[in-house]
A = this chain, B = another copy of it.
Amino acid sequence: MTRPTRVTIRDVARQAGVSVATVSRVLAGDYPVLPATRNKVVRAVRELDYVPNAHARALSAARPGAIAIVVNTVAVPYYAYIAQGVEEQAAQEGRLSLICTTGGDPGRELSIVQLLREQRAEAVILVGSVIVDEEYRKRMTEYAHALAAAGSRLVLCGRPPLGEGVPALVVGFDNTGGAHAVTAHLLSAGHRRILYLGLRPGHTTSDFRVAGYRSALAEHGVPADPSLEVQAEFSRDAGHAAMNRRLAAGPPDFTAIFAGNDLLAAGAIQSLREHGLRVPQDMSIVGYDDVPPAEDLRLTTVHLPHDELGRAAVRLALGRLTTSPMTLGTHIVVRDSVRPLGPR
């Protein structure tokens, strides 16, 4: 099978016995055309199974570009839900949207951004926690300018602004506030020794959540204990492994856990179960994000309006919204994973 010869607009014109302009006009639907002529064209299009070439189209006429969201992976609900919000809003705005995944590889991220520039995407939405170092700032600043030069807008989700003069829109969650609230929830249930699981120095999302955790402790006069802040990536396996290590070292010296996200919490809960500890009887735990499996684990957590974030990103990109940086509020969802500790 050789490369099929494409049917072009000229073939259609010939078949219909009209000019290419007429075919184009019939297809566009604007412009007056006699019904008889229109019919001839429509019939020719059907007979030849003609498909206009999008590239040629995009080349000659300026048409609205697509809205692209770039995430690490779509297999993590946090990203999937945000992507969902983007898709919905984009559909509502009559735009095509597409999701691209990088697998966390900056190289792939770069080539995707490059490709989206070339495609003249209307907006590129970058989502996800990152380590904000000099290299990152440089890379993003380059993206921002490059995309701006190509006429695309860049929206950063859950990442800090890049500074004055860099053409990037920003929207994110109030991580510090949510973390503060959920920590305060544990504190007011009487817990004093609260383990923070999911330290990732330099990572924006985690840093903000830790900050909220610490500020809540401070506010309640509970001294910070660095040994209660344990490192872990934001995944189920990492939570499981970290908690295993901790519990292997001896009986827990804490009565509650604040997991940096629900996946970590799920992993930790599995580890607790394997060590014969029940939630919430033997150990209280809260998570963050309110994504599956939080509900099934009856996990008290911080609800994030993921779809709102996606929608806001699109509306920012399209200029429907102008506040940037923009912060979306969160709220606690209380389930059954926290046991009140009677005052001692």
Q: Which residues of A contact B (CB under 8 A)?
A: 3-4, 6-7, 49, 51-59, 62, 68, 73-75, 77, 80-81, 83-84, 87-88, 91, 96-101, 103, 108, 111-112, 115, 117-120, 145-146, 148-151, 236, 266, 269-270, 292-293, 295-297
Across the interface, A74 reaches (CB within 8 A) one of B58, B74, B149, B292, namely B74
Copies in the complex: 2
- Complex CA gap A91/B83 in Å reads 20
The 8 closest A-B pairs by CB, nearest first: A293-B293, A54-B118, A99-B99, A293-B296, A98-B98, A55-B58, A55-B55, A75-B84
Judge whether A120 and B54 touch: CB under 8 Å: yes
- Complex CA gap A97/B68 in Å reads 12
Contact flag A3-B151 (CB < 8 Å), given A91-B108, A146-B51: yes
Contacts of A96 in B (CB 8 A): 100, 111-112, 115
In the complex, residue of chain B having the shortest beta-carbon distance to the beta carbon of A119: B54
Across the interface, A149 reaches (CB within 8 A) one of B7, B54, B101, B149, namely B7
In the complex, residue of chain B having the shortest beta-carbon distance to the beta carbon of A99: B99
Contacts of A87 in B (CB 8 A): 73-74, 101, 103
Closest-CB distance, A304 to chain B (whole angstroms): 14
Across the interface, A81 reaches (CB within 8 A) one of B7, B58, B75, namely B75
Contacts of A97 in B (CB 8 A): 100
Judge whether B77 and A75 touch: CB under 8 Å: yes
Across the interface, A83 reaches (CB within 8 A) one of B4, B74, B146, B266, namely B74
